[in-house]
Amino acid sequence: MSTTELKFEIIKKIMETDEEGLNNKIQNILSQYYPEKEPETKEPEPYNSNQIIAYKADGQALTIKDLKTEILEIIDDTCKGSAPATHCKVKTRLKGILWL
C-alpha cells in the first residue's frame, strides 16, 4: 500500500467513526510520533545605543541616536522652507542612508 493510499484509508476510517475512544487513540498515536513543540521565546536583547544600524552614503556609521538626528534634520530642513522642499529631495536624502 502506498503512502497516498494509506492516507486515504486513515481519513476514511476517521470519517466513518463516531467513537470518542478511537479519536483519542488516533490523537495519542499522532502525538507520540509528532510531539507538539513548545514555542521558543527569546528574551529581548538589551537596548544598545551604540549599535550601528545604518551607514551614510559616505561610509559614516550611524547609531540609533545618530539616525534619529539625521532623519529629524532632513525633516527639519524640509519644513524650514529655505529651498523649495519636494518629496523627491527628501527621498533622495533618505536614500543616502544605507540600512542594515
Task: Tell me the mean pLDDT in the region 31-50.
Answer: 74
Cα distance from N-terminal residue to C-terminal residue, the chain: 52
Q: Is residue 44 part of a domain?
A: no
Determine which of 54-58, 84-88, 91-95 has the lowest per-residue pLDDT on average: 84-88
Place 80 in a pLDDT band, splitting at 50, 70 and 90.
low
Please say if the pLDDT value at position 83 is more than 60. Answer: no
Instruction: Compute φ and ψ for 73, nearest 5 degrees.
Output: -65, -45
Q: Is residue 41 part of a domain?
A: no
Q: Is residue 80 part of a domain?
A: yes
Write down the residue that cell numbers 556609521 correspond to.
61
Q: What is the DSSP letter of 49?
A: T
Q: Is residue 43 part of a domain?
A: no
Task: Tell me the mean pLDDT in the region 89-99.
Answer: 70
Domain interval for residue 23? 3-33
pTM of the full structure: 0.41
Q: Is residue 73 part of a domain?
A: yes
CA–CA separation, 77 and 66 (whole Å):
16
Task: Tell me the mean pLDDT in the region 2-18.
Answer: 81
What pLDDT is attached to residue 1? 73
Q: Tell me, yes or no, whether 28 and 56 share the same domain.
A: no
Cite the DSSP H helix spans in the chain.
Answer: 3-16, 20-33, 64-80, 87-95
How long, in residues, is the chain?
100
Q: Is residue 45 part of a domain?
A: no
**Do the Cβ atoms of 1 and 9 come closer than 8 Å?**
yes
